[in-house]
Amino acid sequence: MKKGISLAVAVVLAMGLVVGCNSSAKTTTNEMADSISFTATIDEVSDTELLVTVLDNNNFDKARVNMQGFDSLDFVPQKGQTIKLSIKNQVGMSEPPFVNPITIELMK
């Protein structure tokens, strides 16, 4: 009886770890539905953010893109590159606005 209870507890704990570890930073449908997308040119690159000039959004002309914790890039950001961003709908109240990316794609 004790072995059965111990086995059940071990299985439940293992399932919890598997589910918890697999629900990381994958883009969800809700995130994309609540996102803003635009194209921008990179003006400055630092370890923690990108300063970009927004090309196709009338709400702001520059943005600071938070790169802390964002490790989904398949290119090395460089000044002058054109990128397409999808950002969370929450925009920091600063000048230029501070934004959190969901996806960043290199255009050219």
Each residue's pLDDT tens digit, 96-105 = 999 999 999 9
Mean of pLDDT values over 77-90: 93
Q: What is the CA radius of gyration of the chain?
A: 20
Q: Where are the beta strands (DSSP E) in the chain?
A: 35-45, 49-54, 62-66, 82-91, 98-106
Helix (H) or strand (E) holding 57: none
Tokens, residue 1:
């009886």
Each residue's pLDDT tens digit, 34-71 = 788 999 999 999 999 999 999 997 778 999 999 998 88
Domains of the chain: 32-106 (2.40.50.140)
17 pLDDT more than 70 = no
